[in-house]
Structure 1
């Protein structure tokens, strides 16, 4: 989902073993095998489109220099040709030529903390419970809803998703439960316990920095009822009232190399190792958070987004997490709730589909009153804290608090209209929002920048993402024209429509496997694998500019009135995620306080104005025709 490509420019550290994605028998496998393989786009097509994508973001002089490098690279029988043939060979031999490489370069070899830099958060609608009973009842219902979804995955009754009449790869759904990221000294790995001989039957519950193993299946293999889960959560709550425990979970927020060292040190102790394994194997984690500090309504949502991403710092809820766990549901005493997920196994849409299911489930009345069969006490996971581990925790706290202070996040609910307005104008809502972002950025900085929007490759077997490059020759013409008084409104509307159509065309090209970014990455990684010297094309300044995504964006539509959020992918950039509802749009914008040039609230202000000005433009020309 995110623009990790910007970070994957360093040379991968050696060749890694491919991650084996477990297969399930029956319908799932038959469906997967019916999906097409990801194509390798034609080399000349990608190079032409690369030059076109560079036009709005570099000078003419730089462009001419790069064109020379591209012409050299594309010569028949030259280096580009050789690398292309290598990629085509790889595509013939593998299920998906990109998926293993992408998992490694975008995630497992990426060494910055997963917190803020990689893991997205989701803010769910605020619940109205006001006490601990309400919190635990909702948490029990949420757990039951997630387990209901798990049953569909286990039974392979999960409905296959379609896009434009084509079935999508469902593999990511089978990777998100009972999985965890494991830190390593140079690269991490992801383990999935769902496919083992004895799949896990427990979840992890965290309260006051203390971890518990909660079995959610009874001895006869049936799921616990919501009432029974609630009773077990009450036991956990009452056993963990003291907060004076070491926040062991905060270790998972550290730089991956530091965490790998601390991890190896932590699991030397047998008790610690057993506790860590229990967390890693659990189906998912539920974090029962203390309330966030009271703030005014206008900044409340932004504070919740920060809580979902990082937990608010060592004084608040950051120790109430195990950030390597793929799924962590968060339910706080004040009614704020949501999720943070480790990004390696999945993109946003499967996570949001799971959340939509859970939110619907929490609204259904409970009919079954369970017989109160006494259940065993949930197992408290114990940790022996040596002075060395204590020291690791203190360092992780300091680093996390710096990160928390640095993240500037703003959630904006745009109330003036939603996706119904652009639809009424026969414009793609996504293209309309992306063009508004281009306009907002141009008005703030007087120039456009490389912009990343994630496109799903799930039409293909094991497909992940490619990049929709929202900055185009057409989008630049529109943003330059809009505030130009010498241009007529009719011309501006024509430019707006042309720019949104160009975005729509690039999107269609990307989801069909014909975008340029993953192909260029593949050629670069092929050069590393073939041990040939790195082609000039990838050492060029223009390539660095093209991969420096000042705007990293993602549309994650949901039925639920929620919004996903993530950190910027470059120090001087923005992370922008949005969920277009019928009559409003939820936005989450992030930036770093350490960069004087960026400000999330300022971008929100300019974006709101851009959306309103674009509507006004379309409406004014409509009126003049009447």
Structure 2
């Protein structure tokens, strides 16, 4: 009962002595403060909505036009189309005041007409993708068409400083490819993987599909592409992510690492500073003060995915999960030694500074209370099977402390894990780097809340990393946050003792321990999920390669796309490792379109396989190998450009498959397509998305990027990052239980292939010189 009384902010009673009113001033002040923050955000959203709705125009131009029309009207100048006189006919009078109002209506009409014409023109211009296919190599010429296009886009984009969502209404919709074009590209992509007999069989299935049910399926997709903002993204989110019943840990969530430069070794100080700048980034999103990412400084990328970066959780369901995003959250949740805490990060109407948050974090670290029996394993529920977690959530988290604490976790801005172990970079010990990746990918299977949009993980030595739930967005969005946070941290700095900077004028709100009702059925359910998580994480074979022999500088000197260069290296490494070619997945973005996410680049092509065979053919000359390498790189670059331009293969086939399931139409061709395993799944970690990072000032401010688990049981997951002119990182994962894969061996093959390609270019230059 004492807890219940302390939770009451206001009580009212009538007694024999009169009125009896009790209230807690502090709690009422928190309620008032929360309301003020909420109304400020509503006002900011309303203001931003107006700004974005009229972009690339500006309200100041309306005021200027209104002033000009008032001066012209009272000066006896005729207003075009007689707009002022027409406005006066609908107004109740013709006095000078009403004439000023008529001028306002005329100005508004003219202004909106120009604004929407500019918006439509910008949308038409952004549909043009020819600029992507033009070479930007030194000495190459840009076509007059692209130069003219770029000039007009720069004028329209630079008319007014854009906010985060300013371009959303001007972005074109993702185009729907013709079935005939997708079939042609698909058959070309599988040709190097099939012998002549199997290729003829697949070709026959594709032709039959194209001429029969594909016609009907395409009609439904045409209708969806007209009606929805993006004909792929909602189905992709639902069927690829939310309906998946396997654990998020390893199978879906991905991780990111710290930089080589660790500015402090004080865990509480590092945690508080990173938390503070994450929340400042959230404020930039909420106020839309964050500038959108622009390719070539003029072509905007869709910013839709930023909306769910904070205050978001994936809630389990028996058949399908759902993403829940909360409008606001004034706290983060923290896990330390199996105990959960709620930490308020706002006080007296402002965001706490890093020094104040460090006080709160240190209180948690100094808390000597032990976790309740079973509490330390509670997060294993988010690491196990989704249907099991959904059943437990519905039956054992529907009342009391469990319901309150779970709601607090899911509503938090994000989740923080204060680990009581040491991990981080050690350039001289690759085993420590591998362990660092494993800690971030899956931890102990019970110390990450995998349902949250992201978890920040802090080592006892101050190293940091994150684990991200994949449903709400893709890696570039998280990479943007990370670049901002790391750079802001370096600029802000720490004091001489390594503690967070800032003044602590008053004690910040103390952390509140979350309470749980751990019944026997709940503990049994937790143990069941923990067993699944342990089996999964113990099967992960993760290796991280830091390659410093060369990097982007050498690749650019070869006049080859760095991404195509790395993909050719991976093709050679995989063939040496497995003795065959395989279906290869590389993620490419489609954010040039509204609500775009990703598309697949099929990196194994006829050209790449021909080059790989030449590298293993002792009779092939250097000139032959170089010619085939250039052809393979150019073909890969074209495939990447097609994917970005909405001319990919796999998302179109995916949507055709979804429609076929809705209509209960069986297709042998689609079954063939979706039974093919992606044995080599690759992704380049984005780097340098903003101009904030200054590697000349902080040469050690480079991250190893991040990684993910293997997609196929007998395949590899490879993430790589090109962080400078002389540094590359590769994160290679596979399953220990598979007898034909070994991440250690694959890393060795990558190193050998990188060296062989370097030697190929060196030999070619010598031959060319002679």
Q: 1:586 pairs with 726, 729, 744, which one? A: 729
**Mapping 1:392-431, distance limit 5 Å:** 392-431=525-564
Distance 2:198 2:601 in 1: 23
Larger relative contact order (Cα-Cα within 8 Å, sequence gap ≥ 6): 1
SS state at 1:459 partner: coil
SS state at 2:734 partner: strand
Change (3 A) 1:210 1:127: farther
> 1:442 corresponds to which residue?
575
Distance 2:723 2:480 in 1: 15
Q: Tell me if the contact between 1:269 and 1:384 (Cα under 8 Å) persists in the aligned partners.
A: no
Distance 2:240 2:581 in 1: 25
Deviations 1:572-602 (CA, angstroms, capped at 9, x unpaired) = 0111001112211011000000101111111
Deviations 1:193-224 (CA, angstroms, capped at 9, x unpaired) = 03xxxx1111111111111111111132x110
Distance 1:129 1:96 in 2: 43
How far did 1:30 drift?
A: 3.8
How far did 1:376 drift?
A: 2.7
Q: Tell me if the contact between 1:38 and 1:460 (Cα under 8 Å) persists in the aligned partners.
A: yes
How far did 1:128 drift?
A: 5.3
Q: 1:354 pairs with 462, 467, 481, which one? A: 481
SS state at 1:74 partner: helix
Consecutive unaligned residues of structure 1, counting only runs of 5 or more, are 1-21
SS state at 1:320 partner: coil
Distance 1:474 1:593 in 2: 32
SS state at 1:416 partner: coil
Q: 1:239 pairs with 367, 372, 390, which one? A: 367
Change (3 A) 1:67 1:187: same
Distance 2:256 2:369 in 1: 27
Distance 2:256 2:204 in 1: 45
> 2:236 corresponds to which residue?
102
Q: Tell me if the contact between 1:210 and 1:240 (Cα under 8 Å) persists in the aligned partners.
A: no
Distance 1:241 1:610 in 2: 53
> 1:72 corresponds to which residue?
208
> 1:623 corresponds to which residue?
766
Of the structure 1 ranges 363-372 and 467-476, higher mean CA displacement relative to structure 2 is found in: 363-372
Q: Tell me if the contact between 1:208 and 1:241 (Cα under 8 Å) persists in the aligned partners.
A: no
Q: 2:704 pairs with 517, 537, 562, which one? A: 562
Distance 1:594 1:446 in 2: 20
Distance 1:415 1:74 in 2: 49
Distance 1:323 1:415 in 2: 33
> 2:716 corresponds to which residue?
574
How far did 1:254 drift?
A: 0.5
Q: Does 1:224 align with 2:352?
A: yes
> 2:380 corresponds to which residue?
250
Q: Does 1:600 align with 2:743?
A: yes
Q: 1:552 pairs with 667, 677, 681, which one? A: 681
Distance 2:396 2:264 in 1: 38
> 1:124 corresponds to which residue?
258
| TM-score, scaled to structure 2 | 0.74
Q: 1:211 pairs with 340, 349, 365, which one? A: 340
Q: Does 1:279 align with 2:409?
A: yes
How far did 1:42 drift?
A: 1.3
Q: Does 1:383 align with 2:516?
A: yes
Of the structure 1 ranges 562-571 and 360-369, higher mean CA displacement relative to structure 2 is found in: 360-369
Q: Does 1:93 align with 2:223?
A: no
How far did 1:387 drift?
A: 0.2
Distance 1:162 1:512 in 2: 16
> 2:446 corresponds to which residue?
319
Distance 1:293 1:536 in 2: 49
Q: Provide the aligned length of Structure 1 versus Structure 2.
A: 587
Q: Tell me if the contact between 1:557 and 1:578 (Cα under 8 Å) persists in the aligned partners.
A: no
> 2:177 corresponds to which residue?
41
Distance 2:262 2:474 in 1: 30
Q: 2:293 pairs with 161, 173, 179, which one? A: 161
Of the structure 1 ranges 290-299 and 118-127, higher mean CA displacement relative to structure 2 is found in: 290-299
Deviations 1:513-532 (CA, angstroms, capped at 9, x unpaired) = 10100000111111122x14
SS state at 1:150 partner: helix
Deviations 1:285-328 (CA, angstroms, capped at 9, x unpaired) = 111001148998221111010000111x2xxxx43221100111
Distance 2:380 2:259 in 1: 26
